[in-house]
Amino acid sequence: MELFKNLTVLSLEQATVAPYLTYRLAQDGMNVVRLEHPVYGDPNRFIGENVLDEKRMNSYFLCINSGKKALSLNMADTQGQEIFKKLIKELDVDIFITNQLPKNYEKLGMAYNIIKEVKPDIIWLGLTGFGPDSNEGAYDPILQARSGLMELTGEADEDPQVLGIPLPDMGTSEHGYGLLMKALFKRAATGEGTRIDLSMFESSVSWLTVPIALSESFGANISRRGNTHEFFSPVSVFKTSNGFVYLAVGNDKQWNNMVSQDMFKSLAKDEYKNNQGRIADVTNLNNAINAITGKHTSEEIIELFNSITVPISKIKNVNEVVEDPLVARRILTSTDPKTGTKITLAPPPNMTPFLEESDRKLSFPPRFGEQNQEIYGNLLGYDEATLTEFKEKGIF
């Protein structure tokens, strides 16, 4: 969509929450420029395997930084802050994003009131752990622990477990994406910019819809329950002769369809006719189902349940997920023009016009300061002597 191609995003970003958000914006075709400190850079550049055999381009960094450009800039330096203001103006920045601590907003010259003086209609987004009044550090697992997500994950009689994906990071990014779209709509309608402060903690807690409502309103004790569901049964992981499946019987009609099959007729008991009865005896029921499914292959079990329209799935590993026809047709790729290395990227939540036009290909994740010459030299007009001077001073 041409509308998004005309938008520019400047982001002082590192780690995951801001980079994943700008990655999503790049998938819309926006011009995304990431800023990094000229010495330290994004710590995620050093995480994972050194797959390209060069510094600051390790595998973990490559996952969510395709489709972007990269600049290095010391914004703690007075000259760096002047260059930053020039970037805002000359790049005609529409959206500024940062996941720096709030105490650094003024110190680094990137507070909303400062940028607004340069670009009155700027959309400014500050991503923080616990809100703009807190400078408490926050990593994803800490947020999982504090928000209750970890308490809800794992087996009932075992330790709490961290989620398999960083939901506080990526969930906050998705909430940020929605807020930015609202701000763009507001600007289109009124011409006004917006300051957005988004807390990763508040974002994470917002996912606790059922747990909070039931525990606070009706005194329910909501905690981790393993693979089962506290309101529906049978809903769990079941072992087969060659793997595992997840079965989800969501109502009494589906249960009746299940026990009408020869394989499960032994479970057609009066006490199991209603979901409440099945929940009351969930452990014994699940053991009985496991005794049956364990004698058959996953493929046989899946074929049976698909035939009676009861939701079921093989529990797939990541490579199997990528091979799923619904996933394979939406997988993204990015190829390094320097080494020829091709990386396979997760599909977007929805296929954007930009990705369709580009045949689902994004530019390779940018090397550290890769666009310094292009933007500082060609766009801002600094000559070679000045660029060399700035580099020697540690500004770039």
- Tens-digit pLDDT profile for residues 219-253: 999 999 999 998 899 999 999 999 999 999 999 99
CA–CA distance, 275 with 280 (Å, rounded to integer): 9
Distance (Å, whole) CA 234 – CA 219: 25
Summary mean pLDDT of the chain: 97
Q: In degrees rounded to 5, what are phi and psi of residue 70?
A: -135, 135
In sequence order, what DSSP letters do the residues of 54-108 get, joined into one string?
Answer: STT--HHHHTS-TTEEEEE--TTSHHHHHHHHHHHHHTT-SEEEE-S-TTHHHHT
pLDDT tens figures, 95-138: 999 999 999 999 999 999 999 999 999 999 999 999 999 999 88
Task: Report residue 70 as tokens.
Answer: 């990269």
Architecture of domain 2-206+330-392: 3-Layer(aba) Sandwich (3.40)
Q: Is the peptide bond before 337 cis (omega within 30 degrees of 0)?
A: no
Q: What are phi and psi of 309, to 5 degrees?
A: 55, 50
37: phi then psi, degrees, rounded to nearest 5? -65, 140
Predicted local distance difference test score (pLDDT) of residue 137: 85
pLDDT higher than 60, residue 192: yes
Indicate which residues carry an active-site annotation: 169
What angle separates helix 17-26 from helix 167-190, to the nearest 10 degrees? 50
Is the confidence at residue 2, as pLDDT, over 80?
no
Residues of the chain with CATH 3.40.50.10540: 2-206+330-392
Choices 3.90.226.10, 3.40.50.2020, 3.30.1540.10, 3.10.580.10: CATH for 235-319: 3.30.1540.10
Rounded Cα gap, residues 302 and 317, in angstroms = 17
Euclidean distance between CA atoms 346 and 73, whole angstroms: 30
What is the mean pLDDT of the segment spanning 147-163?
A: 96
Calpha distance 159→153 (Å, rounded): 9
Angle 31-36-40 from CA coordinates, rounded to 5°: 160
Residue ranges matching CATH 3.30.1540.10 in the chain? 235-319
Tens of pLDDT, residue by residue over 317-350, are 999 999 999 999 999 999 999 999 999 999 999 9
Say if residues 227 and 152 touch (Cβ distance below 8 Å): no
| Percent over 90 (pLDDT), the chain | 98
Task: Please give the single-letter amino acid code of residue 147.
Answer: S
Q: Name the residue type at position 370.
A: E
For residue 1, name the pLDDT band (cuts at 50, 70, 90): low
> Model confidence over 13-72: pLDDT tens digits?
999 999 999 999 999 999 999 999 999 999 999 999 999 999 999 999 999 999 999 999
